Amino acid sequence: MPQQDIKSKDLVDALKSASNLLGLERSSQLYQDIVNIGNYLTNPNFRIAVFGPFNHGKSTLLNAILGTRTLPIDLIPTTGAAITVKYGSDVRTRIMLRDGTEVYRSGTEILQQYAILDGDRQMRKDVASVEVFCPHTFLETGVEFIDLPGTNDRDEQDNLVREQLFSADLVVQLLDARKLMTLGERENLRDWLLDRNIKTVIFVANFINLLDPEEQKQVQNRLRFVAESFRAELPPGFSNLYRVDALPALRARLKGDVAAASSSGLVAFETALQNVVSILQQNRGDVRLPRVEAIASQIQLALQHKIDPIANEFKAIDDKQNAKIEIKQKAKNLINQGFNKSLSELRDWLSLPKLLTKYQADGAVALAENNFKSWQNTALKKDLNDLQLAVMKWLYQAYDFFKEERPEDLLIPFPPEPQITLPPKPDSNELFSEPGAVAVGGGIGWLLGGPVGAAVVGSISYLLNKNIQKLDEQSSHESYHQQVARICITAIEDYLSQFSRQALATLSQFEYQAEKVIYFRIAQEPADITKKREEIRRLQQGFNQLLTELVKAKIPTKYQPYIEIPKVSQPQPQQKSSRQQERIYTRPPQPENTTKTTEKKVEPPKQQVYSPPPKPAPNPAEVEAKFRNWEIDQEIAQIKAQMRSPGYQNNQQQTTQTQNQQAPKPPQNQSEKDKIARAYKILGLPQDAAFADVKQTYKTLVKKWHPDLFVNQPQMQKQAQEKMRLFNEAYTVLSEKN
């Protein structure tokens, strides 16, 4: 297949595909034009259509060119179909009916049955196409004629003519010199030819021989005016106006009278026609592509009118959805930051060195005083519970926002209470003879008795301070209460070591589960929205494909391709480091008892952590408003921290109250006074305003002018950044003043 035919086929396919997307009715004019332009682009022959009102002599003119009475002619409108005349070795006719039947006959007599109007001047409904084959040298060059029904007779005939003109490379418009360019002919010239970029037109005036010489001069002048006013796109050097007396020309040809044929104007017209066609055949793209441009422009406009309302609707939907996702993503980031910080603090607290430093001494003393349970509840459990709640509050916040998975309580179990076995008790006189036997805190009754218990407590402090417990072997002169103290210290070390291992393993597993809580998914798109999204995707692809083929064919177009609307995607989970992944998938070890005892093990009670009941899911507007305020509050806190503003640390509330009660510091010099006055002016406050008013005003201005609120407005964002710089400077000055 030649390269030009391949390009034409691709362009035709794009046109048809676009028409299918428009859902055009088969009876619509645009649909018919698309079908005709498709047939036109893929037809290798050069088509010449003879066009004009009925009884203007169109069939007669064609018969004169062919030199035979090939086509039916009469004094009344006869042609009832578009008859295509092609080259053939002999004269024959082929009729294609709409049911697929083919009627093939020698000669042209069958035209009387299928290709002329009936008694009611109606065209046959069952005829799809009429072709006549004729052995003419001009047709052998790849030319075909189309004999069209007369116009201005019936709408059905006019529609057929209009369709066929669109697929003609050259139009021969036949004029009646006796009634030159009627209103109907001028309208057809404008609507059927000019408006559809059909400008390769030659005018032929018939019946001039029926006028007297004076009238012929007047008609010739009017004909020149018509020809000059129509900007035909013919090769240079050729006129777009000729005179042919069709009937005398036919008679001359049938008789073989060359002189009469020449005087009728037929020879001059034939010569010009053949020369024009030979040139246009070499540049068929210049003839055909403007027709495509006209029809493609209509299709693109129709597609645009169909696409744009849906695209605008989806833009509003996606903008709203993306805004919600952006808010939730910011919430997720802030919650993750807080959660990871609290988790890091808890993990750091659970490290064995930190536990030993903070709790070993008190734990050993509590064990020595037979007060371990109370110490565990008031010290170790209390501190753990505070840290656990600090972690859990972020998960409750996440569940409140995202409603994905309800958080499970962080339950870190405690090992069984240490059980110790005492060494044999020495002589009572020796109990207080060794160094370090100093009572601490008065001593409470112990298994060994009050005084000995107090001595053991003192030895615990002594041994821990001297780090003697780290020695591999006991001193030979170690006292009994020091031996007991060492046992208590070691028991607590084993207890805290087991607690640290179990707790860290539990924490790693908990961190993995927490990911399912600090996560949000996009709600499933409704089926009707998905269907409409697919519809606009097909429309945009069809539009872009047509645009691509037009560019390939070098056909001008004013349209730009559509960018496909991406579907809002699910947020991706955070990537974990290899160390985090190792923690996540490590099975926590089972509780074990490492204390030196043969006594019965006691299962530790499960720790209870308060879990608030799940709240009902807020509607999107509430979530957005709630988070927006919370987010800005967090940003204000961060700005304060960066400025080292008082009140940001754990004693924030107390320090703030103290600041509000204290009198402002008086300025030291005039420069400082001017700086403070300028700060009040920037915030829009009087110079006697309380610091509480300063804070409230600063917060309000931040909410109004934060740069993130103007992401899509570069000028406003730049202005907001400058304002925020001034607000921060003013707040810093007034914070230092107070």
pLDDT in tens, 83-104: 899 999 999 999 999 888 999 9
What pLDDT was estimated at residue 495?
95
Backbone angles phi, psi at 396, to 5 degrees: -65, -40
Strand 102-106 to 143-147 pairing: unpaired
Q: Which residue has the higher pLDDT, 353 or 617?
A: 353
Instruction: Report the pLDDT averaged over residues 710-735.
Output: 81
CB 63 within 8 A of CB 250: yes
Could you tell me how many residues make up the chain? 738
For residues 416 and 621, which has the higher predicted lDDT (pLDDT)?
A: 416
Question: What are the beta bridge partners of residue 565?
Answer: none
How many angstroms from the chain centroid is the CA of residue 525?
14
**For residue range 328-338, what is the model confidence (pLDDT) as tens digits?**
899 999 999 99
Q: Among 80-84, 272-276, 442-446, whose mean pLDDT is lowest? A: 442-446
More confident of the two residues 510 and 229:
510
Q: Is the dihedral of CA 442, 444, 446, 448 positive or negative?
A: positive
H/E element, 84: strand 83-87
Question: Is the per-residue pLDDT at 592 higher than 80?
Answer: no
- Contact (CB, 8 A) for 485 and 491: no
Those residues with Cβ within 8 angstroms of residue 176's Cβ, 6 or more apart along the chain or in another chain: 52, 53, 56, 205, 206, 207
**Is 136 in a helix, a strand, or coil?**
coil
**Is 541 in contact with 6 (CB distance < 8 Å)?**
no
Q: Please check whether residue 105 is in contact with residue 90, taking contact to mean a CB–CB distance below 8 angstroms.
A: no
Question: What is the model's pTM?
Answer: 0.52
Alpha helices by DSSP H, listed for 170-245, are: 183-188, 213-229
* Beta bridge pairs of residue 131: 84, 94
Q: Is the pLDDT of residue 674 over 90?
A: no
Which residue has better confidence, 55 or 582? Answer: 55
Q: Please tell me which of 195-199, 489-493, 584-588 the model is most confident about, judged by mean pLDDT.
A: 489-493
What is the distance between the alpha carbons of residues 194 and 189, in angstroms, rounded to a whole number?
6
For residue 121, what pLDDT is reported? Answer: 63
Average pLDDT over residues 720-738: 82
Instruction: List the beta bridge partners of residue 151.
Output: 53
The pLDDT of residue 106 is 92
pLDDT at residue 609 is higher than 50: no
Q: What is the mean pLDDT of residues 281-309?
A: 86
Domain 45-282 falls in which CATH fold? Rossmann fold (3.40.50)
Confidence category of residue 634, pLDDT binned at 50, 70, 90 = low
Q: Give the pLDDT score at 268.
A: 93
Domain ranges in the chain? 45-282, 351-378+404-518+568-617, 620-738
Q: For residue 392, name the pLDDT band (cuts at 50, 70, 90).
A: very high
Highest mean pLDDT among 310-324, 433-447, 621-635: 310-324
Mean pLDDT of the chain: 77
Task: Give the per-residue pLDDT at 213.
Answer: 87
Range name among 290-304, 356-370, 440-454, 528-542 with the lowest pLDDT average = 440-454
pLDDT (mean) for 715-721: 81
DSSP class of residue 126 equals: S
Question: Of 405, 417, 384, whose CA–CA distance to 609 is shortest?
Answer: 384
CA distances from 12 to 193, 435, 545, 550, 634 (A): 21, 108, 11, 10, 61
Specify the pLDDT at position 427. Answer: 59
Which residue reads 């010009």 in tokens?
272
In terms of average pLDDT, the best of 52-66, 340-354, 455-469, 514-528 is 340-354
- pLDDT one-digit tens code per residue, 451-507: 445 556 666 766 776 554 444 444 455 677 788 888 889 999 999 999 999 999 999
For the chain, percent of residues with pLDDT exceeding 70: 75
Output phi, psi for 422, to 5 deg.
-80, 150
Torsion-angle region of 634 (φ positive above 0: left; ψ -120 to 50: alpha; else: beta): alpha
